A and B are shown apart, each in its own frame.
Chain A
Amino acid sequence: MLYLALFISFFKIGLFGFGGGLAILSLIQMEVESHGWMSQQEFVDIVAVSQVTPGPIGINCATYVGYTTAGFWGSVLATSAIVLPSLIIMLSICKAYFWLSNKFQGNPYYEQTLRMLRFTVVGLVASAALMLIKPTNFIDATSWFIFAVVAVLTILPNFAKNKVTDIISHPILLIVLAGVAGYCIYA
């Protein structure tokens, strides 16, 4: 039954995960939390690991949750399940490529739906962040200080785009620095 539940959950995430990467986080969070597969802390930790390792965040989460809940085959199953909807949908698109590119370009139903989904996806990412603002992740005032510094540094290139802001806004550097800060403060 656990295998079936894993398969259904990650198939759903693959099927409704519009907008890629961060947008998919709120879906994963909702699924793993409602099943009790991962604590809030574990979820944040795996997102942190995903940011510093190569590969898509969805695959990383599927592999990790699959392994921790059902071992090696669980990780194979969850990872296959998140890829499967893409395979079905993208292959259909490929097969109908020339037909599609004529019919869909300029089709008001298609274009308007995509436009609206882009708005919704912004809300999904916001909800992923909001759901993580909890005492388990923000243990004291220092946590908020780290949050503020990282947020400001990440937004910086939007206002002043140059080599320096590009480097100091890099997620890997920021996570490593936050880890070092955490070690110095809490250890």
Chain B
Amino acid sequence: MFLQLFWTYLKIGTFTLGGGYAMLPLIQREVVDRQGWIDEEEFLNMIALAQAAPGLIAVNSAIFIGWRVGGWRGVCGAVLGAVLPSFLIILTIAMVFQDWKEVPAVEAAFKGIRPAVVALIAAPLFKMAKSAKISWITALIPIAAALLIWLGHVNPVWVILATILITLCSIWLSSYRSSK
């Protein structure tokens, strides 16, 4: 089971570009349709949990499926398979990148790439805002969060913790009031 999960995730990890979300359809085809390790409904539950829990979605899903399919060994196999390809690729790049950076052609190319990367980070905001069903009032939350981090240099960790605490307190308060 260790080897089977390792291979499955190694294949998926090596051939998916774009990280966690891009991996999900491939994981589904491999784990649900081809191997039949878990059923469709459990897979959908898994996605919900992998997204709700902190951490990388690809790793979270590997842990869940690894555990359901093969216990501890399954977890080790799936996680190693999911992490190893990008670890090895980036390690190789990190080893040579220091020298490449000095090459004028590479430096020129990266001058063009940098603003493109900022655009690639910013553009999905549009879709994210739409799928989170943001209204004019709730838009204040991401705006406040962005300003605190960008201009206030507040660590995002505090912004996340504050979101959780404020939400829990406000629900508790309103239920306390209505019960009185």
Q: Which residues of A contact B (CB under 8 A)?
A: 12, 14-22, 24-27, 30, 41, 44-45, 47-60, 63-64, 67-68, 72, 75, 79, 82-83, 85-87, 89-91, 93-94, 101, 108-109, 112-114, 116-133, 136-139, 143-144, 146-151, 154-155, 158, 171-172, 174-175, 177-183, 185-187
User: Contact between A133 and B118 (Cβ–Cβ < 8 Å)?
Assistant: yes
Residue contact B113 to A125, C-beta cutoff 8 Å: no
Task: Let me know if A123 and B53 touch, CB within 8 A.
Answer: no
Smallest beta-carbon distance B141→chain A, Å: 4
Whole-angstrom CA separation of A24 from B116 in the bound complex: 19
Digitize B109-127: 1 where CB-to-A-CB distance is under 8 Å, 0 elsewhere. 1111111111111111111
Judge whether A109 and B171 touch: CB under 8 Å.
yes
A117 x B86 contact (CB < 8 A): no
CB pair B160 A64 closer than 8 Å: no
A82 CB contact (under 8 Å) in B56, B63, B94, B155: B56
Contact among A44, A55, A123 for B117, CB-based, below 8 A: A44
Neighbour of B105 across the interface among A19, A79, A150, A183, CB < 8 A: A183
Compute how far the CA of A120 lies from the CA of B57 in the bound complex, rounded to whole angstroms.
18
Q: Which of B53, B64, B120, B156 contacts A27 (CB 8 A)?
A: B156
Which of B19, B54, B115 touches A143 (beta carbons < 8 Å)? B115
Residues of B within 8 A of A68 (CB): 94, 98
A41-B114, A185-B108 known; A24+B93 contact, CB < 8 A: no
Pick the residue among A41, A122, A126, A179 that contacts B132 (CB under 8 A). Answer: A122
- Bound Cα distance A148, B116 (Å): 8
Whether the Cβ atoms of B18 and A51 lie closer than 8 Å is: yes
Which residues on A sit within 8 Å (CB–CB) of B31?
A: none
Q: List 9 A-B contacts (CB under 8 A).
A: A27-B156, A86-B55, A90-B50, A109-B168, A116-B164, A119-B141, A125-B121, A127-B146, A154-B124
- A30 and B148 CA atoms in complex are apart in Å by 13
Chain B contact surface mostly:
helix
| Interchain CB contact under 8 A, A182 and B17 | no
Please report whether the interface of chain A is mostly helix, strand, loop or mixed according to DSSP: helix
Residues on A with C-beta less than 8 A from B20 are: 20-21, 56
Residues of A within 8 A of B166 (CB): 116
- For B130, the chain A residues whose CB sits under 8 A away are 158
Q: Which of A120, A150, A158 is the one whose CB lies under 8 Å from B119?
A: A150
Query: Does A20 lie within 8 Å of B164, measured CB to CB?
Result: no
Which residue of A is nearest B93, CB measured?
Answer: A49
Q: Are A171 and B120 in contact (CB under 8 A)?
A: yes
Residue from the list A143, A154, A179 in contact with B120, Cβ < 8 A: A154
Residue with the highest number of chain A CB atoms closer than 10 Å, among B19, B60, B148: B19
How far does the alpha carbon of A184 sit from the alpha carbon of B20 in the complex, in Å?
33
Query: Would you give the shortest CB distance from A98 to chain B, in whole angstroms?
Result: 11
**CA separation between A137 and B75, bound complex, in Å?**
40
Residue B67 at the chain A interface, CB threshold 8 Å? yes
Q: With A119-B138, A125-B121 given, is the CB distance from A63 to B91 under 8 Å?
A: yes
Distance in Å: Cβ of B9 to nearest Cβ of chain A? 11
**B94:A64 contact, CB within 8 angstroms:** yes
Across the A-B interface, the 4 shortest Cβ-Cβ residue pairs = A182-B112, A55-B86, A123-B145, A123-B142
Interface residues of B in 55-98 (CB under 8 A from A): 55-60, 63-64, 67-68, 75, 79, 82-83, 85-87, 89-91, 93-95, 97-98
- Cβ of B115 and Cβ of A146 under 8 Å apart? yes
